[in-house]
């Protein structure tokens, strides 16, 4: 579905991001995965060793809030692979801190990664995509962008904003043949969730009509669809992949 496409996935070293990288590779794309540290990038590349040897995967660790670093990284990817078709803004962090203990420093850190980096990466990718006369930008949102959450207000606030950015960029960039969509995952069986005690997990699963949490590949499959030509007339959408979770 993604044959001859070149994709960049931020936060691509683990969890949902790494699952997206793997599925994109399986569908024929060449991928550059971006991580927060060189060590985590190298660890992910080692897991993808066969693909790395084929020359279909690159790894970088730029500061996603540094416009110059992002620009230089994206240009290097384009020069290596010849083009740049898909950007997945997946890098992010969550928070559960109650408001009364919430410090402005923590709130700003979340906004910087979850929102500001999406703006920076989308801008730099769109410049390249406009020159190529087309591309796809996909953002990782969350079910809490629709419903909020009981504590850790910075996380849902950032994802509400990502939804607004997604819809607005879809309207602005449509004339340049750039589609912009988001995927809003529910509860996903990542390493973080696996480490939670059983008594915390079971009540969560009871709120999901399908009777199970999502696996990272369930979320990755949604990104594959939206990145592909099968979704050529879909833009400005926030696709919920949450098993109809009842909040």
Tell whether 99 is covered by a domain: yes
Task: Place 23 in a pLDDT band, splitting at 50, 70 and 90.
Answer: very high
Q: Are 58 and 29 in contact (CB under 8 A)?
A: no
Q: Is pLDDT at 7 greater than 90 in this prediction?
A: yes
3-state helix, strand and coil shares in percent for the chain, rounded to the nearest 5: 50, 15, 35
CATH code for position 115: 3.40.50.720
Q: Is 85 domain-assigned? A: yes
Domain range for 86: 6-240
Question: What is the b/e burial string over 222-236, where b = at least 16 CB atoms within 10 angstroms of the residue's CB?
Answer: bbbebbbeebeeebb
Give pairs for 219-223: CB < 8 Å, separation 24+. 219/16, 219/19, 219/20, 219/183, 219/185, 219/188, 220/16, 220/19, 220/20, 220/22, 220/23, 221/23, 222/183, 223/20, 223/23, 223/24, 223/88, 223/138, 223/183
- Annotated active-site residue 233? The verdict is no
Distance CA 169, CA 61 (A): 25
Residue 69 and residue 84: Cα distance in Å, rounded? 17
In a domain, 213, yes or no: yes
Domain assignment present for 246 = no
pTM (whole model) above 0.85: yes
Question: Which residue among the candidates 100, 102, 147, 155 is catalytic per the annotation?
Answer: 155
pLDDT digits (tens, 9 = 90+) for 28-60: 999 999 999 999 999 999 999 999 988 999 999
Q: Residue holding tokens 């969730």? A: 193
Residue 1 placed within a domain? no
Residue 186 resides in a domain: yes
Which residue has 């066969």 as its token pair?
A: 50
Q: Per the domain annotation, does 170 fall within a domain?
A: yes
55 located within any domain: yes
CA distance 42 to 189: 23
User: What is the tally of structural domains in the chain?
Assistant: 1
Residue range 125-154, pLDDT digits in tens:
999 999 999 999 999 999 999 999 999 999
């Amino acid at each position: 579905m993604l044959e001859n496409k070149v994709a960049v996935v931020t936060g691509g070293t683990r969890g949902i991001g790494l699952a997206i990288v793997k599925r994109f590779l399986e569908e024929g794309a060449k991928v550059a995965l971006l991580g927060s540290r060189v060590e985590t990038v190298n660890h992910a590349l080692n897991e993808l060793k066969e693909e790395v040897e084929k020359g279909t995967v690159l790894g970088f660790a730029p500061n996603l809030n540094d416009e110059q670093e992002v620009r230089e990284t994206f240009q290097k990817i384009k020069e290596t692979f010849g083009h740049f078709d898909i950007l997945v803004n997946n890098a992010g962090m969550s928070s559960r801190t109650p408001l009364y203990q919430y410090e402005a420093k923590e709130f700003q850190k979340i906004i910087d990664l979850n929102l500001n980096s999406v703006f920076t990466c989308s801008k730099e990718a769109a410049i390249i995509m406009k020159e190529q006369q087309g591309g796809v930008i996909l953002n990782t949102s969350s079910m809490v962008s629709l419903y909020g959450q009981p504590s850790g207000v910075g996380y849902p606030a950032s994802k509400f904003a990502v939804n607004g950015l997604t819809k607005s960029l879809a309207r602005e960039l449509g004339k340049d043949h750039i589609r912009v969509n988001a995927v809003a995952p529910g509860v996903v069986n990542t390493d973080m969730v696996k480490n939670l005690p059983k008594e915390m997990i079971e009540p969560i699963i009871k709120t999901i009509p399908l009777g199970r949490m999502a696996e990272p590949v369930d979320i990755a499959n949604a990104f594959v669809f939206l990145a592909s030509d099968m979704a050529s007339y879909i833009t400005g959408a926030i696709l919920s992949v949450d098993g109809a979770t009842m909040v």
